[in-house]
Amino acid sequence: MMREGAKKSMSFAFSMDENRDPLVMIQPGNKPETLRPLMKKSGGKMPMIWGTYTVRSDVAEFVCEEYAKSVLSQLKRFFQQNRPGVNVVFTDSGGNTLDSLKPTAAATPVEDSDDLDVTGQDPQAVGPLIKRLKRIEPRIALAPGELELKMRKALAKCVSQINTGDLQMAETTLTVIERAIARIGQDREDEDTAMNRAAREQQGRALRSSVERARALSANIARTPGSPARDKLERAIHQAARLLKDKNTDEADAVMDKVEAALTQLS
């Protein structure tokens, strides 16, 4: 939410739902009143507060065009719980200060896509993950309050996993984020589509990894002395190659496991 306000002027709306949980919506531009029907449709109850906000340096200024003191207190409490990391000033449309909030000392910067560092990693393996992460990142700001904070923490975790080369865990974390965004209707893809695409990309990475493994084994076989055992290994690795061509990675990996075991005995 704060990151979006640092890029451009944003509109916001806030209220509590029927369960007394906070509901926040933001959108670019200076027409916050258009958020009111969307808030109501999403379960927001009156009274509401709406207006515009911008973030400059370490200050976020919220200009409240429509507000009630009780809801302003709830909005302030919401920011206290979610640690915006900047000073927050609430004013009315005439510029009069209504309230303010200083950042919690424990607030720390959260990693995002700008912190990615994949030096030395295989571009084919890490590239699709980065593309997905950058695609979903701006949609996190559209999530309501506490969910946005949770997903930003998950995104930071995913960035860290990618940076350390733990691509399998990064895949899992990213899929969780994509499903959450799809569930709240803030993604162009529904949940099933997101899951299917994630599965295809995961299979693609597994296939590339198995192909590299087959090449390495083939090179190791070529370095062994000629013998009936070597001929048998060559036939096996050719079988694995055919299985990989058919995208049957499970059976290919099983064949290559046996080849590796045989090479270990020959060495």
Question: What is the per-residue pLDDT across 142-171, written as a single tens digit (0 to 9) for each?
Answer: 776 667 778 888 999 999 999 999 998 999
- Counting the structural domains of the chain, the total is 3
Residues 209 and 174 in one domain: no
CA-based torsion, 222, 226, 229, 231: positive or negative: positive
Which residue carries 């390495």 as its tokens? Answer: 216
Residues 167 and 140 in one domain: yes
Cβ neighbours, 10 Å, residue 29: 11
Whole-model pTM over 0.75 = no
What range defines the domain where residue 59 resides? 2-101
Residues 258 and 182 in one domain: no
Beta bridge partners of residue 89, listed in sequence order: 61, 100
Between 111 and 236, residue with greater pLDDT: 236
Domain boundary among 141, 161, 189: 189
Distance CA 33, CA 165 (A): 45
> Would you list the DSSP string of 62-86?
EEEEE--HHHHHHHHHHHHHH--SS
The answer to whether position 180 is within a domain reads yes
Cβ neighbours, 10 Å, residue 142: 19
Give 27's DSSP letter: E
Question: What is the per-residue pLDDT across 56-109, written as a single tens digit (0 to 9) for each?
Answer: 867 889 999 988 888 998 999 888 887 777 888 999 988 888 888 876 544 445
Q: How many Å separate Cα 43 from the centre of its chain? A: 26
Domain boundary among 55, 80, 101: 101
